[in-house]
Structure 1
Amino acid sequence: MKNKTLAILAYVTIIGWIISYLEFKKRTDKDTLVSYHLEQSLGLIILSLVLGIASSILVSLVPPAYIVSIVVSLGTFVLLLLGIIAANNEARKPLPVVGKMFEGKFDFLRS
């Protein structure tokens, strides 16, 4: 697979991330584009899980707060699309608002 394809695949579900990661790890020429987008997408996956759990707890305590859950889901989906667009353009730019938090946090992706 091409580097661009691996970078895009990293954003497509957790299974796509795992496939992209395994393919990246067995390569001898490790491109920074793939590792960067693996890092960004893993951060987004973790963030969406945490926000999903938090919003579920909030909705269980205050049922009318389901709007918050919808906004959180929509927000993470928009970030996912922006990540796919950046990977397609072969750009190494962080996701808006949250992307800087993920830079350099997952060192196992670089080696």
Structure 2
Amino acid sequence: MNQKTLSIISYITIMGWAVAYFGSKNETRGKLLIKHLEQSLGLSILSIFTGIVISFITMFVPFLAILSYLNLIFFALIILGVINAANERISNIPIVGNLFEGKFVFLRN
């Protein structure tokens, strides 16, 4: 598979990320794929962490269950990441993309 396809696949759940990561060889990973692997992994981790925190909060304060709609923001960010990957743009995801810049060093090896 080419880098564009793997970049798009990386945003489709953690399994998609694993396919994109292990489906590419270290020497053939270009800037496009590395950037989208980094962005999609960071977004997945942030989404899971936010979901756990929201679940914990709503366990004690049930009327704050409306916070669960924050997951729609993560869905929108995933869509924006897929669009960037499809257009072969090497750019950060809006709002949270800068948080993941250079955090996953193992992707560059």
* Shorter-chain TM band: over 0.9
Equivalent residue for 2:72? 74
Equivalent residue for 2:41? 42
Runs of 4+ residues over 4 Å off in structure 1? none
Amino acid at match of 2:3: N
Q: Among the aligned pairs, what percent are the same residue?
A: 47
Q: Over aligned residues, Cα RMSD in angstroms? A: 0.9
- TM (normalized to structure 1)? 0.94
Amino acid at match of 2:85: A
Provide the rounded CA distance (Å) in 2 between the counterparts of 1:28 and 1:59: 46
- TM (normalized to structure 2)? 0.96
Match of 1:83 among 73, 81, 86: 81
Provide the rounded CA distance (Å) in 2 between the counterparts of 1:106 and 1:27: 14
- Residue correspondences, number: 109
Shift of 1:61: 0.9
**2:100 counterpart of 1:102:** yes
Tell me, which stretches of 5 or more residues in structure 2 are unaligned?
none
Tell me, which stretches of 5 or more residues in structure 1 are unaligned?
none
Cα deviation, 1:7-66, whole Å, max 9, x if unaligned, reads 000000110000000012x25322110010000000001000110000001111111111
**2:4 counterpart of 1:4:** yes
